[in-house]
Amino acid sequence: MRPYRGIGGEAAMRGVALCIGAALALGIMLLFAQAEEQFRLHRQEVRDVSYPLVTAGRGYYGAGAGKPDLLKGGPKDAAEALEYYSIPLQGRAVLFALEWGRRPRLWADTDGDRDLSDEQAYEGRAVARQGEGFLRRLGRALRRSDPEEVGFGPLSLSFQGGPATEVAVQVRELSRGHPSLMARPAALRAGTVKFGARSCAVALVDLTLDGRYDGYFTSGWGYGSDRLAIDLDGDGQFAPGYPASREVMPLPHMLAVEGRYYSLQPAADGFSLRVAEVTPEFGTLDVGAAGAQLALLSDSGYHELAAAGAPWKLPAGRYSAVSVVLRQKDQKGGEWALSCYGQTGKLQDFSIKPGEPTVIEVGPPLLGVVELDQAPGEVTLGYSLQGRADEVYAAGAFRDEEQQPPPGFKILDEGGKALESGSFEYG
């Protein structure tokens, strides 16, 4: 092969190697990606403020101190005093103005030009809630007694020709005359998707409010990612749960449906989802503690690992443990359980490598950790247990699902004399 002019032989060889690499990768993809299918999703507005799929995307914002300096022009026909807010959307601070009068109105800088004189006013309306009839809603709106009674939108925001973000805004009046804004996704994408022979209802939520529906899970609890919901058991609902449940999770790259794995590729605007069966590479996870059960978030979905299956075979990728539960039987046959939720130590961010075991030991020997919290005239002692992966278990064990009395304590002076003793309280 004759190298291109200006490209040296070595670069050309690198080019050839790249081509071969790309061809190989394509071959592997073709081998594994069988029968890719694309499914259409449609826009579905979410009016219910308590709908579990959007509650995770709520953010609360207090009013700023007066009119922002950078504001070019205020709303044209505002009659009453305005409260100004700044809400981070699509990586920028977006200005909002609220007229909190008898008929609340809201203006948003929907095009990001820091000018509200070019914006329309949104009229406030009573917020809909699941299972609440019109009359009750009206009564609540008239009484103005509920902290979340007025809603605006959906508002569509788009900056410099970028994707549109749809947000709904609610006003929460913390105390009389001190409203704060709550913003959340106003709509989602929904449809029916086939995984092999199985059809499942699916929803995608732009939880990051950047106008895109393809923000995959990266690490941790998935705060920076979008969300996938899938009705795996076909009961017509998405099992709620945060940060995840079997049916709702940070958007994974692939997901198991009836024992087979499928890659998931949403279009950026969320109006379609490509699905293809894939054959993942597996590694194993060993936590070195009999009776441990784990809940994991990952780029292959949400995994609930039962003690009986350890060490567990898992698709290679990145993981974050949500919880660790230790179970052990005593001599009388009673089962003790200790729970760690959230503070999962070394299991908070780890990887499973193809064909390799990953060993992260949890559980006993446990280290009792006493924390002192000093306030004027008062010292509070906190007690927790720490396992080998620095995972933290809440004080108090359960025996046969019943909570056991909290541990006792004794405070000794330097000579070993007891100064104080007592027991911890659950709090």
Nearest C-alpha neighbor of 170 from the set 79, 74, 57, 248 = 57
**How many chain residues interact with Ca ion (CB under 5 A)?**
15
SS3 105: strand
Q: Cα(76)–Cα(245) distance, rounded to whole angstroms?
A: 47
Using CB under 5 A as the binding rule, the residues of this chain from 188 to 207 that contact Ca ion are: 206
Query: Exactly one of 83, 109, 173, 391 binds Ca ion (CB under 5 A); which one?
Result: 109
CB atoms within 10 A of CB 4: 10
Query: Exactly one of 231, 269, 304, 361 binds Ca ion (CB under 5 A); which one?
Result: 231
Q: Does 86 bind Ca ion (CB under 5 A)?
A: no
Q: Cα(168)–Cα(108) distance, rounded to whole angstroms?
A: 11
CB of 253 to Ca ion, least distance (A): 15
Report whether 381 contacts 371 (CB < 8 A): yes
Query: Exactly one of 86, 208, 219, 344 binds Ca ion (CB under 5 A); which one?
Result: 208
Report whether 286 contacts 311 (CB < 8 A): yes
- Residue 192 or 237: the one with the smaller Cβ distance to Ca ion is 237
The alpha-carbon radius of gyration of the chain (Å, integer) is 27
Please tell me the total number of residues recorded for the chain in this structure.
427
Query: Exactly one of 149, 166, 173, 226 binds Ca ion (CB under 5 A); which one?
Result: 226
CB of 271 to Ca ion, least distance (A): 14
Tell me the Ramachandran region of residue 62: left when phi exceeds 0, alpha when psi lies from -120 to 50, beta otherwise: beta
Report whether 163 contacts 209 (CB < 8 A): no
Q: Cα(288)–Cα(312) distance, rounded to whole angstroms?
A: 11
CB of 292 to Ca ion, least distance (A): 27
Report whether 366 contacts 339 (CB < 8 A): no
Using CB under 5 A as the binding rule, the residues of this chain from 114 to 133 that contact Ca ion are: 115, 118
CA distances (Å), origin 102, targets 143, 150, 246: 12, 11, 44
Q: Cα(262)–Cα(276) distance, rounded to whole angstroms?
A: 5
| Candidate ranges 76-84, 223-231, 362-370, 412-420; the one touching Ca ion (CB under 5 A) | 223-231
Q: Does 258 bind Ca ion (CB under 5 A)?
A: no
| Candidate ranges 176-184, 235-243, 274-282, 357-365; the one touching Ca ion (CB under 5 A) | 235-243
Query: Exactly one of 45, 80, 123, 233 binds Ca ion (CB under 5 A); which one?
Result: 233
- Residue 89 or 389: the one with the smaller Cβ distance to Ca ion is 89
Query: Exactly one of 45, 235, 258, 330 binds Ca ion (CB under 5 A); which one?
Result: 235
- Residue 113 or 148: the one with the smaller Cβ distance to Ca ion is 113
Q: Does 269 bind Ca ion (CB under 5 A)?
A: no
- Residue 303 or 388: the one with the smaller Cβ distance to Ca ion is 303
Q: Does 227 bind Ca ion (CB under 5 A)?
A: no
Q: Does 166 bind Ca ion (CB under 5 A)?
A: no
CB of 27 to Ca ion, least distance (A): 32
- Residue 83 or 210: the one with the smaller Cβ distance to Ca ion is 210
- Residue 58 or 137: the one with the smaller Cβ distance to Ca ion is 58
- Residue 118 or 132: the one with the smaller Cβ distance to Ca ion is 118
- Residue 203 or 352: the one with the smaller Cβ distance to Ca ion is 203
Q: Cα(184)–Cα(100) distance, rounded to whole angstroms?
A: 20
Q: Cα(329)–Cα(338) distance, rounded to whole angstroms?
A: 12
Query: Exactly one of 105, 184, 212, 303 binds Ca ion (CB under 5 A); which one?
Result: 212
Long-range pairs of 140-149 with CB within 8 A, sequence gap ≥ 24: 144/173, 147/172, 147/173, 147/174, 148/49, 148/172, 148/182, 149/173
CB of 247 to Ca ion, least distance (A): 5
Compute the Cα dihedral for 239, 240, 241, 244 and give only its sign: positive
Q: Does 149 bind Ca ion (CB under 5 A)?
A: no
Q: Cα(207)–Cα(384) distance, rounded to whole angstroms?
A: 33
Residues that bind Ca ion (CB under 5 A): 109, 111, 113, 115, 118, 206, 208, 210, 212, 215, 226, 231, 233, 235, 237
